[in-house]
Amino acid sequence: MDVDKQVAIFMQGAEYGDDALKAAMAKDLRERLIEAEKEGRPLRIYCGYDPTKADLHLGHTVTMRKLRQFQDFGHEVTFLIGNFTSLVGDPTDKDKLRPILTAEQIAENGRTYAEQAFRVLDREKTKVRYNADWLSKLTFEDLIHLSSNFTLQQFISRDNFRKRWDNNDPVYLHETFYAIMQGYDAYHMRADVQVGGTDQLFNIVTAARKLMTSKGVKPNVGITMGILPGTDGEIRMSKTLGNHIPINSGAKDMFGKVMSIPDKAMPVYAKLCTRWTPQDVEEFEKAVLGGTIHPRDAKMKLAFEITNAFYTDEEAENAKKAFVTQFQKGAVPDDIPEYKLKTGETFIDVMKNSGLVASGGEARRLVKQNAVKLGDELISDPNQEFPKAGILKVGKRRYLKVK
RNA sequence: GGACAGGUACCCAAGUGGCCAAAGGGGUCUGACUGUAAAUCAGAUGGUAUACACCUUCGGGGGUUCAAAUCCCUCCCUGUCCA
């Protein structure tokens, strides 16, 4: 297999914030590929996942997509569940300490996590491992040796510690163990390549490489993936921020949510979430920026590819069709909730009782805003008795079949 | 244990006796426009109510007052610093 082609594919979407580092990593990767081929073995790749939450969204799948690419070239992929590291929580992630989960919760989350991940990864070719299997066996003495590879300055100069330090926000001692544990994982598994987000740059490149070197093994190559922005197109995708695209909520939802990203976010999504080759992505980006493809059509193409990467051809096709019918043609979608009209109910009653709106006030407001239609007829008096069965439309997206 | 700073609506944040259902921003929703749920512009955004109005809400509880997010007491919680 052509080594340079592999390098191009594997480095696609990787970001280091530093061109020299990127070039160095690409070079390392190339050498490692050649070396492994000589030894007649596949590369060992892994990425660690935090099992404290169980709902995956597109952002989590960026690294999985990367792992999948390695799999497709016959390399050995380990899906590592960080059931031990989750005791600490990644300091990169949040300023709050994580709630400590029970072993059972973590095991359960780990399972559902892996299950969702197999929408991207090849189940047959994926090893699932838990880092508590080795980390929990380390002694205090081991920890002293491991941590003697690092200085406090190295940690404090990290951006996320630095900021908190400057703000007088707490920086806990045990947070520094995170990087050490992650480095030990890489050492224990003798990883050739470790994949992660750019927020993992320090953990992967500095900590893991240094620790592995000190242990006398070849340091892993780090592939740190760019961060996927959420549906707002600006801030990293996260469930807490509500800008996420869950992978388990159905093809239609996924298609629609991708369609709602701002135009300018299309290239990033193409780079991080599709199965396209580097050339495909480049062409797509050029076409979008150059205006040779209509932005709407470009986004449709993108939405279809992303949906199709998680769902079957048929499901993706249906999602696309449903989107076109509902939004482009403004037609009524085929699967809408139904409501049985009771005698004497007003528009407010129907909207409220069917759960279409949360309160009477909201119903009144929507009517006032010309958002409520029965069939083609605009409703102006919310207290009017509901006249007849039909399709009630509220705004662009809410429908109710009243019988 | 001590000192200090805080706890306000979905989130951030202003407000230090009445004009406060509570500024501003974000988010969300709606409308116009369009190329889509993009961008832009406009409006809405506690509940009940046709309306007058009423009810609930500024960490919990108690009090002062005609009137409290605002003053007093007490409790709980969060953070920083010192020990």
Identity of residue A37: E
Residue nearest to nucleotide B48 (CA to C1'): A360
Claim to verify: residue A290 and residue A384 sit in the same structural domain? no
Claim to verify: residue A258 and residue A141 sit in the same structural domain? no
Phi and psi at A196, nearest 5°, equal -170, -175
Q: What angle do CA A314, A315, A319 make, to 5 degrees?
A: 115
Identity of residue A177: F
pTM above threshold 0.80:
no
Q: Is the C-alpha dihedral spanning A363, A364, A367, A369 positive or negative?
A: negative
Closest CA to A29 of A8, A15, A13, A1: A8
Helix axes A278-290, A295-310, angle to 10 degrees: 150
Claim to verify: residue A33 and residue A166 sit in the same structural domain? yes
Place of tokens 């740190």: A224
Confidence band (pLDDT; 50, 70, 90) for A88? low
User: How many domains, chain A?
Assistant: 3
CA distance A3 to A271: 21
Chain B: nucleotides below 7 Å from protein CB are 27-32, 35-39, 43-51, 79-81
ipTM of the complex: 0.82
Claim to verify: residue A270 and residue A296 sit in the same structural domain? yes
What pLDDT shows up at residue A167?
61
Claim to verify: residue A166 and residue A72 sit in the same structural domain? yes
Q: Which helix (H) or strand (E) holds A196?
A: strand A193-197
Give the number of residues written for chain A: 403
A89 pLDDT above the threshold of 70: no
- Specify if A97 maps to a domain: yes
Q: Which positions 173-202 on chain A have a beta carbon less than 7 angstroms from any atom of strand B? A: none
The per-residue pLDDT for range A159-188, each reduced to its tens digit, is 667 766 766 666 777 778 888 899 999 999
More confident residue, A340 or A238: A340
- Is strand B in 7 Å reach of the CB of A360? yes
State the residue range of the domain holding A345. Answer: 338-402
A148: exposed, middle or buried (Cβ count in 10 Å: 0-12, 13-18, 19+): exposed
- Specify if A236 maps to a domain: no
CA distance A230 to A239: 9
Q: Which two tokens stand for residue A199?
A: 């927020």
What pLDDT shows up at residue A355?
84
A403: exposed, middle or buried (Cβ count in 10 Å: 0-12, 13-18, 19+): exposed
* Average of per-residue pLDDT across A73-100: 69
User: Which residue, of A328, A350, A377, is where some domain finishes?
Assistant: A328
A327 pLDDT above the threshold of 80: no
- Is strand B in 7 Å reach of the CB of A396? yes
More confident residue, A162 or A191: A191
What's the CATH number where A379 sits? 3.10.290.10
Q: Edge-to-edge strands of the sheet including A398-402?
A: A338-339, A398-402, A390-394, A372-374, A377-378
Nearest nucleic acid nucleotide to A398, CA to C1' distance: B29
Q: Is A47 helix (H, G, I), strand (E, B) or coil?
A: strand
A127 pLDDT above the threshold of 80: yes
What pLDDT shows up at residue A32?
93
- Specify if A132 maps to a domain: yes
A1 pLDDT above the threshold of 80: no
- Is strand B in 7 Å reach of the CB of A6? no
User: Cβ of A373: how many Cβ atoms within 10 Å?
Assistant: 15
Claim to verify: residue A119 and residue A145 sit in the same structural domain? yes
Q: Which helix (H) or strand (E) holds A222?
A: strand A221-225
User: Cβ of A334: how many Cβ atoms within 10 Å?
Assistant: 10
What's the CATH number where A286 sits? 1.10.240
Contact call for residues A202 and A159 (beta carbons, < 8 A) = no
Determine what percent of chain A falls in helix, strand and coil, rounding each to the nearest 5.
Answer: 50, 15, 35
What pLDDT shows up at residue A138?
93
- Is strand B in 7 Å reach of the CB of A169? yes
The per-residue pLDDT for range A332-386, each reduced to its tens digit, is 877 788 888 888 888 898 998 888 888 888 899 999 888 898 888 888 888 888 8
Q: Which of A168-172, A289-293, A311-315, A330-334 has the highest mean pLDDT?
A: A311-315
Longest dimension (CA), chain A: 81
- Is strand B in 7 Å reach of the CB of A362? yes
Nearest nucleic acid nucleotide to A167, CA to C1' distance: B80
User: Cβ of A6: how many Cβ atoms within 10 Å?
Assistant: 18
Residue A155 CB-half CA count within 13 A: 20
